[in-house]
Every structure is written in structure tokens, then in C-alpha cells.
Amino acid sequence: MLVITEDAGVYCKHGPGHVKNRPSQDWLTVEKRRVLVEDDPVGRSISHCPSTVPFKPCLLTLPVIKGYSEFIRVDGHRICLQSVTGLTDGTPPGVVLYVVRTPGQDFVSEK
């Protein structure tokens, strides 16, 4: 499973809704791009979600459901893998996921 960097393409499942990545650490990089770690995908803004009335567009990411490494940590935080998935605040509630489409690099994997 590939490690994701700040250049990862993370999107809501409505289509073009793009998540703004904001890495919290500078220690671990791949090709000079910071690796995302635990909680980096949470509470991030989502732009261009096409969901409209009567539904609320996805505006924020909620906690990660799966996708943290069980083996590799940076400063005590698990690194994020290409399998990162979580819910958004869009409607219908508890249904709309955000997922990684591209990891931002294709060189470093967990195993």
C-alpha cells in the first residue's frame, strides 16, 4: 500500500469535490513532499463538491475510518496510506465518503 503525500488527490465521492491537504509534520518526505500522518486528513476543507439542493455539499472531512499504517509512525503518529477513507459532512449524513484517488507519489509503500 502506497504512502500518501501532501500532493495526494483526495476527493469526496460526489466527484470533483477536492480535499485540501495540510501536512502537520516536516520529518518524513518522499521526493521533498511531506508525508501525511494521523489526523492530517481530518477537518480539511473540500472545494467543488457538486452536491446541491436538497442536499448539502461536502465542505469538511470527518475522522478517518481506515487507512492508517499499523507499523510506521512519525513522531508517534501513524502515517497515512492510499487506503485512507472517511466520511464528509455532506448529505445524506453518514453516507458520503472521501477517498484517495492518487497517492501523490508512486515510489514508497508500507510493505
Would you say residue 55 has pLDDT above 90?
no
| Residue 104, pLDDT score | 98
Would you say residue 48 has pLDDT above 80?
yes
| Residue 87, pLDDT score | 98
Distance CA 21, CA 50 (A): 19
Contact 90, 49 (CB under 8 A): yes
| Residue 93, pLDDT score | 84
Contact 28, 19 (CB under 8 A): no
Would you say residue 53 has pLDDT above 80?
no
End-to-end CA distance of the chain: 7
- What is the mean predicted confidence (pLDDT) over 97-107? 97
Contact 40, 23 (CB under 8 A): yes
Contact 79, 50 (CB under 8 A): no
How big, in percent rounded to 5, are the helix, strand and coil portions of the chain? 0, 45, 55
CA nearest neighbour of 47 among 10, 93, 95: 10
